[in-house]
A and B are shown apart, each in its own frame.
Chain A
């Protein structure tokens, strides 16, 4: 079963605008990660936020985590055409096992 669910499924913006993607999950987690995928290629890690953190920054990326709402958001500021990709959240559920669960992803298209 899929734990992480991103929304929107697809997002189209102009270069320079901010892009916000959301991820919701169902069970308690140890941490949440965001990954980027360019057109059917391997995923690339962007940022990790632990369950006891509320916000984290990395360059133009800002991630928030609200464990009470079981949700996270990824904000990309001042987007560029090169940011066009699919973005996935991944969770490590705090269920005693070692699974990693990915959501279905948000496809971001940044128009130049």
Chain B
């Protein structure tokens, strides 16, 4: 089954404790992306990747890191989480760079930083 898998689904952590949210897709998609969703703000793009070893900042990259060592995986790293990073996070992938193809979303990771 074609899917985007995020883990964990729920995470509560303390300020400053490094964490990684994993994302994996099994569709051989080129483009992968991370979003955060906050009430009233919709989805805001954090980082995106056009292919292996090629990443770029979205609209809200501060406090986040990503890597794309393999085509299927695109982990999101919070080196020193802060309470303002409490949010619902989504990973997505699509076939090609440059839009024009639908994005497939993971089920989301609800992160709480206390």
* Tally of A interface residues using CB under 8 Å: 27
B74 partner residues in chain A, CB cutoff 8 A: none
B100 partner residues in chain A, CB cutoff 8 A: 30-31, 48, 50, 92
Residue B44 is within 8 A (CB to CB) of chain A in the complex: yes
Interface code B44-55, partner A: CB below 8 Å = 1, 0 otherwise?
110010100000
A8 shortest CB reach to chain B, Å: 13
* Tally of B interface residues using CB under 8 Å: 31
Question: Which of A35-43, A60-68, A70-78 lies at the interface with chain B?
Answer: A35-43
Residue A99 is within 8 A (CB to CB) of chain B in the complex: yes
**Do A31 and B99 touch (CB < 8 A)?**
yes
**Do A99 and B45 touch (CB < 8 A)?**
yes
How far is it, in angstroms, between the C-alpha of A100 and the C-alpha of B2 when the chains are bound?
21
Chain B residues with a Cβ under 8 A of chain A = 4, 31, 33, 35, 40-45, 48, 50, 56, 58-59, 88, 90, 92, 97-108, 110
Q: List 6 A-B contacts (CB under 8 A).
A: A35-B103, A41-B108, A97-B56, A98-B97, A98-B98, A98-B99
> A-B pairs with the 9 shortest C-beta distances?
A92-B99, A42-B105, A45-B102, A104-B42, A102-B43, A43-B105, A102-B42, A42-B107, A30-B99
Chain A residues with a Cβ under 8 A of chain B = 1-2, 4, 30-31, 33, 35, 40-45, 48, 50, 88, 90, 92, 97-105
